[in-house]
């Protein structure tokens, strides 16, 4: 029987395993060094905040795996011997495979800062990072002050987490607005303001220069590139993630930033596939990035590679881009492409609306010339994925989209609708533009 | 039930402590409680009216002050920080104390009311006497243990209702729903029945009737003494009797078809009202395992069968044999029940068989055969209907289900098993509404395309123990018999994935292989297979 070995039990690897099981009788083994069972990485924050226990993060009951004949192996893969189709574990064991799926995910990306080795410096990606945080920052007596380097999704999660334990948090954000490498300026500003309203110090246009330690090797502060020194007991590094590929050195599997794959998610070695955060497309698909470290893309690659492995080759051809996040109390959803100031396309125009209470706003991107709807960001308003997906597929005009926004409403029942205000603001902005 | 796993708190002491205002609120509430406890021990308080007012105000004020301390300085949004760290909400020491105290209270209330000062022969004493002034003000009669219970119950729903309103002030669905349960408890369960008692005289006597309390939750509604007094109370009485029958056979199916069982369970019902307000801090304690779900299905439907059998037997005992005297004789009634059950079963089998799980099919057939056989045996051999005297069935049901299950376990164990144990495992009304909701309703919780990140907040905070995530992560809508539509899964979802809706019954359950967002061709290929 063909033995499919999946390295990594995150959403990509697990989705692949489930779909291979649905479509075949192959022997399936999932290897993970991080945890015995699949858990939702995106929910690690809720354990620290006391919303859930770690076991509540597991989407499937423990008996699910044996019932579906999916073997779980807790081990750390140190080397891949592609010639003999063998994995070498740190525990000195080996395992052979017929088909290998690499779904090893990401590790925190760091730069050449001094002091990264100090105690109290950490990222927040793995279960072990969470356990470490529980040691480094159990409360505000052990850890009165924390610095978070980087203004992205993990950074804001870490800020929210530490805030629940009344730890004073300061964030260093390189740009003028929060996550403004991705968000258009008005959206980024709204989020900046909201984070500050939760008593988080946000230092914009500040970058880390070095981390300062004491004699015992504990972190005691940081210095910014502008020369500011700030005292702290914890430094959270949240300047993005990079593919976990170091164990592939010498395996013959071609890598760049990530593991290079074609549209069938195959690497340069036969019967070796890579999916999820660790995979890198030779050429970007559409406007996507070659490496996409997002839950949803991991899942989609898992769904797709399972078909290919089960004898029904399908190219990875994801549909419209979508994503979501939550910044403290503000939910964010995006459908289609809305680019930040820096990455905005020449043809791209934005319509922006913000509620006076500063907790809700939308940005709609459209084509300047033909007025085609390109994408939407919403903050504090929920939209219906299916409807937006349909509008993007059918190339609706921005005018039609604004006119029909009600149809896409996904807020709970009885919620106040902001669509009349949005429509009014849109027609005002149109008149304004016509007069220009 | 497994012990709480505090696996991440290796060295941590996360803040679970109360702030000053919360401590003051707790002290005030406990002070009010203390007055009531002193009254139990028959301490002679100088002015009952005054001390009762002080005690009840302190209770209510304490809860409100606590809520103010908890939420006033925080921004609107989800407030679940530290839920699993606090002793009272994580099955810690305080939870067990609270559970034991509540359980003890229920046992005394149901079985030893004289300890609270009930005296049916003469004047009340103790705690119940303390409530006499309020009872006389409302109904003109001295208090009973049920009046004491009803008053405290209402105060709990109002006080913790305000807490809930504060906690979910950003969510209009939650606010309206909570105002609704607060209203129905105060008006329908507490005040109106007391005022109705004022109408009673020697020749006009309506039974105590909480109009929103529908059979079979109100399992005694069609007992002889009640039906007699309905009938003897002229048009009003007859109207109430007809309303009672219409509630379950006409009003309930229509509303459940349009809105799901939530119209009752989380907007109107008193048990639901207490669970949603006073029980809110315990909603995450419900068991989400598939095993618990299986137990739930068997137990709750068995209770439903039990109440149908019991009520049939009880009604049959007081119906006559002589068709000349009254058209509804015992035989007509029993045949009608048998025909009704058979037709109901037949229709479900004919139209909805595919939606029933295997154990549901076995269970339904098994129970129907047994009930019909017992009725048949009764007719053929003349043995006691259902082989057990109706009175024994009635007292057993009242003891096991009405008292032990709904009260002692259902509410007493809030801090251990969660706040909806009764509604989930025991309530026959919930079982009927659940069948309707599962098979004939427009209600569902819609999953928003492919946006789920499997975080588990929805499942964790589902008080009915539904593993909401199991559906959401498959992109599938949630259509479950037990869902009471409290809307908390949708509220706590960090990605806006869930929405409670009443919409077309077409494609209500939208099982699909690949989630929205992936390759259009792949979705077409797999989802059509």
Strands A3-7 and A99-102: parallel
CA A354 to chain centre: 25
Using alpha carbons, select from A436, A163, A57 the residue that is nearest to residue B14.
A163
Q: What is the pLDDT of residues B248-289, one digit of tens each?
A: 999 999 999 999 999 999 999 999 999 999 999 999 999 999
Contact A414, B490 (CB under 8 A): no
User: From CA A143, how far away is CA A151, in angstroms rounded?
Assistant: 21
Cβ distance of A319 and B518 shorter than 8 Å: yes
Q: What is the pLDDT of residues A17-76, one digit of tens each?
A: 999 999 999 999 999 999 999 999 999 999 999 999 999 999 999 999 999 999 999 999
Q: What is the pLDDT of residues B84-141, one digit of tens each?
A: 999 999 999 999 999 999 999 999 999 999 999 888 888 888 999 999 999 999 998 9
Judged by a CB distance cut-off of 8 A, whether residue B519 touches chain A is yes
Is a pLDDT exceeding 70 seen at residue A126? Answer: yes
In chain A, residues with a C-beta closer than 8 Å to the C-beta of B82 are 49-50, 164
Per-residue confidence band for A434, with pLDDT thresholds at 50, 70 and 90:
low
Is a pLDDT exceeding 80 seen at residue A207? Answer: yes
In chain B, residues with a C-beta closer than 8 Å to the C-beta of A55 are 5, 7
Question: Which of A299, A328, A411 comes nearest B515 by C-beta?
Answer: A299
Minimum distance, in Å, between the CA of residue A377 and any CA atom of chain B = 13
- Average pLDDT across chain B, whole number: 91
CA A327 to chain centre: 13
Using alpha carbons, select from B347, B320, B314 the residue that is nearest to residue B332.
B320
Cβ distance of A415 and B173 shorter than 8 Å: yes
Asked if ipTM goes beyond 0.90, one says yes
Using alpha carbons, select from B338, B317, B347 the residue that is nearest to residue B253.
B347
Is a pLDDT exceeding 60 seen at residue B5? Answer: no
Residue B246 contacts by C-beta under 8 Å, 6 or more apart in sequence?
none
Cβ distance of A138 and B13 shorter than 8 Å: yes
Judged by a CB distance cut-off of 8 A, whether residue B258 touches chain A is no
Mean pLDDT value across residues A173-202: 95
Q: Output the pLDDT for position B13.
A: 61
Minimum distance, in Å, between the CA of residue A328 and any CA atom of chain B = 8
DSSP conformation letters of A171-194: EEESSSSTTTTTS-HHHHHHHHHH
Minimum distance, in Å, between the CA of residue A167 and any CA atom of chain B = 11
Mean pLDDT value across residues B212-224: 91
Cβ distance of A131 and B10 shorter than 8 Å: yes
In chain A, residues with a C-beta closer than 8 Å to the C-beta of B5 are 53-55
Domains detected in chain B = 16-199 (no CATH), 290-426 (no CATH), 439-527 (3.30.70.20)
Mean pLDDT value across residues B410-415: 90
- Average pLDDT across chain A, whole number: 96
Could you give the strand order of the β-sheet that contains A219-224, starting from the edge strand earlier in sequence? A208-213, A219-224, A229-231
Q: Output the pLDDT for position A95.
A: 98
Q: Which residue of chain A has the CA closest to B526?
A: A307
Cβ distance of B499 and A325 shorter than 8 Å: no
Cβ distance of A51 and B494 shorter than 8 Å: no
Measured CA distances, A95 to A8, A13, A73, B503 (Å): 15, 17, 10, 52
Q: Output the pLDDT for position B93.
A: 94
User: From CA B426, how far away is CA B401, in angstroms rounded?
Assistant: 7
Query: What is the total residue count of chain B?
Result: 529
Q: Output the pLDDT for position A271.
A: 96
How crowded is residue A220: how many other Cβ atoms within 10 Å of its Cβ?
A: 17
Q: Calculate helix-pair angle for B20-40, B48-71, nearest 10 degrees.
A: 150
Q: Which of residues 270-309 of B touch A (CB under 8 A)?
A: 284, 289-290
Mean pLDDT value across residues B489-502: 97
Is a pLDDT exceeding 50 seen at residue B11? Answer: no
Per-residue confidence band for A430, with pLDDT thresholds at 50, 70 and 90:
confident
Q: Output the pLDDT for position A297.
A: 96
Residue whose structure tokens are 């881009």: A321
Collapsing DSSP to helix, strand or coil, A4 comes out as strand
Between A5 and B508, the higher pLDDT residue: A5
Strands A219-224 and A121-122: unpaired
CA B135 to chain centre: 25
Cβ distance of A42 and B450 shorter than 8 Å: no
Q: What is the pLDDT of residues B34-72, one digit of tens each?
A: 999 999 988 877 889 999 999 999 999 999 999 999 999
Measured CA distances, B14 to A155, B68, B285, B335, B461 (Å): 20, 22, 20, 64, 21
Is a pLDDT exceeding 70 seen at residue B4? Answer: no
Is a pLDDT exceeding 60 seen at residue B162? Answer: yes
Is a pLDDT exceeding 80 seen at residue A435? Answer: no
Per-residue confidence band for B15, with pLDDT thresholds at 50, 70 and 90:
low
Query: Residue A223: what are its φ and ψ, rounded to 5°?
Result: -120, 135
Query: Based on the number of CB atoms within 10 Å of its own CB, is B350 exposed (0-12), middle (13-18) or buried (19 or more)?
Result: exposed
Cβ distance of A322 and B515 shorter than 8 Å: no
Q: What is the pLDDT of residues B282-330, one digit of tens each?
A: 999 999 999 999 999 999 999 999 999 999 999 988 888 777 777 888 8
Is a pLDDT exceeding 50 seen at residue B235? Answer: yes
Domains detected in chain A = 3-107+242-309 (3.50.50.60), 121-239 (3.50.50.60), 322-435 (3.50.50.60)
Residue whose structure tokens are 């992560």: B473
Per-residue confidence band for B14, with pLDDT thresholds at 50, 70 and 90:
low
């Amino acid at each position: 029987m063909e033995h499919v070995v999946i390295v990594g039990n995150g959403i990509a690897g697990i989705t692949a395993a489930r779909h291979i099981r649905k479509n075949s009788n192959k022997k399936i083994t999932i290897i993970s060094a991080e945890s015995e069972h699949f858990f939702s990485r995106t929910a690690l924050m809720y354990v620290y905040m006391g919303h859930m226990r770690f076991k509540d993060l597991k989407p499937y009951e423990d008996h699910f795996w044996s019932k579906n004949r999916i073997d779980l192996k807790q081990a750390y893969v140190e080397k891949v011997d592609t010639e003999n189709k063998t994995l070498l574990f740190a525990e000195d064991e080996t395992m052979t495979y017929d088909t290998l799926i690499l779904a090893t995910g990401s590790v925190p990306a760091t730069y050449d800062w001094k002091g990264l080795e100090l105690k109290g410096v950490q990222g927040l990606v793995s279960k072990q990072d969470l356990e470490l945080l529980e040691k480094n920052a159990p409360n505000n007596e052990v850890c009165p002050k924390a610095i978070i380097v980087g203004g992205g999704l993990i950074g804001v999660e870490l800020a929210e987490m530490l805030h629940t334990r009344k730890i004073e948090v300061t964030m260093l954000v390189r740009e003028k607005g929060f996550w403004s490498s991705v968000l258009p300026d008005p959206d980024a500003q709204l989020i900046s303001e909201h984070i500050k309203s939760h008593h988080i110090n946000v230092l914009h246009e500040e970058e880390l220069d070095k981390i300062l330690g004491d004699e015992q090797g504990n972190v005691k502060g940081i210095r910014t590139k502008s020369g500011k020194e700030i005292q702290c007991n914890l430094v959270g590094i949240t300047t993005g993630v990079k593919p976990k590929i170091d164990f592939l050195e010498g395996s013959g599997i071609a890598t760049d930033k990530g593991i290079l794959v074609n549209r069938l998610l195959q690497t340069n070695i036969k019967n070796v596939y890579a999916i999820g955060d660790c995979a890198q497309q030779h050429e970007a698909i559409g406007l996507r990035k070659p490496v996409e470290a997002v839950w949803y893309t991991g899942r989609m690659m898992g769904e797709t590679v399972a078909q290919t492995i089960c004898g029904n080759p399908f190219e990875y051809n994801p549909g419209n881009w979508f994503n979501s996040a939550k910044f403290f109390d503000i939910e964010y959803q995006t459908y289609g492409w809305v680019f930040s100031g820096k990455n905005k396309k020449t043809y791209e125009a934005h319509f922006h609306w913000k509620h006076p209470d500063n907790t809700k706003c939308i940005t709609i991107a459209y084509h300047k010339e033909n007025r085609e709807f390109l994408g939407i960001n919403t903050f504090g308003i929920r939209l219906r994925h299916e409807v937006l997906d349909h509008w993007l597929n059918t190339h609706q005009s921005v005018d039609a989209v604004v006119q029909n926004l009600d149809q896409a409403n996904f807020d709970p029942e009885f919620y106040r609708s902001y669509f009349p205000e949005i429509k009014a603001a849109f027609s005002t902005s149109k008149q304004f533009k016509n007069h220009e | 039930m497994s012990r709480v796993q505090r696996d991440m708190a290796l060295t941590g002491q996360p803040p679970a402590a109360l702030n000053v205002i919360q401590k003051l609120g707790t002290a005030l509430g406990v002070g009010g409680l203390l007055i009531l406890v002193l009254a139990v021990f028959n301490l002679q308080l100088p002015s009952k009216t005054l001390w009762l007012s002080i005690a009840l105000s302190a209770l209510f004020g304490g809860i409100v002050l606590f809520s103010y301390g908890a939420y006033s300085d925080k921004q609107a949004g989800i407030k679940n920080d530290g839920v699993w760290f606090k002793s009272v909400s994580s099955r810690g020491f305080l939870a067990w104390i609270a559970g034991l105290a509540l359980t003890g209270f229920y046992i005394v209330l149901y079985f030893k009311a004289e300890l609270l000062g009930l005296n049916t022969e003469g004047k009340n004493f103790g705690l119940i006497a303390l409530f006499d002034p309020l009872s006389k003000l409302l109904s003109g009669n001295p208090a009973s243990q049920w009046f004491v219970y009803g008053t405290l119950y209402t105060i709990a729903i109002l006080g913790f209702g305000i807490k809930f309103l504060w906690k979910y002030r950003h969510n209009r669905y939650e606010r309206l729903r909570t105002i609704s349960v607060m209203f129905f408890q105060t008006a329908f369960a507490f005040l109106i029945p007391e005022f109705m008692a004022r109408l009673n005289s020697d020749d006009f006597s309506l039974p105590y009737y909480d109009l929103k309390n529908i059979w079979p939750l109100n399992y005694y509604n069609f007992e002889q003494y009640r039906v007699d007094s309905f009938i003897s109370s002229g048009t009003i009485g007859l109207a109430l009797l007809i309303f009672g029958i219409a509630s379950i056979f006409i009003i309930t199916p229509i509303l459940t078809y349009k809105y799901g069982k939530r119209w009752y369970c989380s907007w109107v019902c008193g048990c639901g009202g207490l669970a949603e307000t006073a029980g809110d801090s315990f909603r995450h304690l419900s068991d989400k395992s598939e095993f618990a779900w299986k137990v739930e299905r068997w137990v709750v439907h068995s209770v439903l069968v039990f109440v149908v059998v019991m009520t049939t037997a009880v009604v049959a005992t007081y119906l006559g044999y002589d068709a000349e005297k009254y058209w509804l004789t015992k035989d007509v009634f029993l045949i009608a029940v048998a025909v009704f059950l058979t037709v109901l079963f037949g229709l479900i089998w004919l139209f909805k068989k595919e939606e029933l799980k295997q154990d549901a099919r076995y269970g339904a057939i098994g129970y129907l055969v047994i009930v019909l056989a017992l009725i048949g045996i009764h007719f053929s051999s003349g043995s006691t209907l259902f082989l057990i005297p109706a009175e024994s069935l009635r007292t057993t049901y009242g003891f096991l289900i009405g008292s032990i299950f709904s009260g002692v376990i259902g509410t007493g164990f809030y801090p251990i098993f969660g706040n909806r144990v009764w509604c989930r495992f025991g309530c026959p009304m919930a079982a009927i509404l659940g069948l309707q909701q599962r098979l004939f309703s427009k209600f569902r919780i819609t999953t928003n395309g492919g946006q789920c990140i499997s975080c588990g907040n929805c499942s964790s905070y589902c008080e009915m123990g539904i593993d909401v995530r199991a559906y959401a992560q498959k992109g599938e809508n949630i259509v479950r018999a037990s869902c009471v539509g409290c809307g908390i899964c949708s509220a706590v979802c960090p990605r806006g994935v869930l929405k409670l809706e009443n919409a077309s019954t077409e494609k209500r359950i939208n099982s699909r292989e690949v989630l929205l967002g992936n390759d259009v061709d792949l979705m077409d290929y797999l989802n059509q297979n």
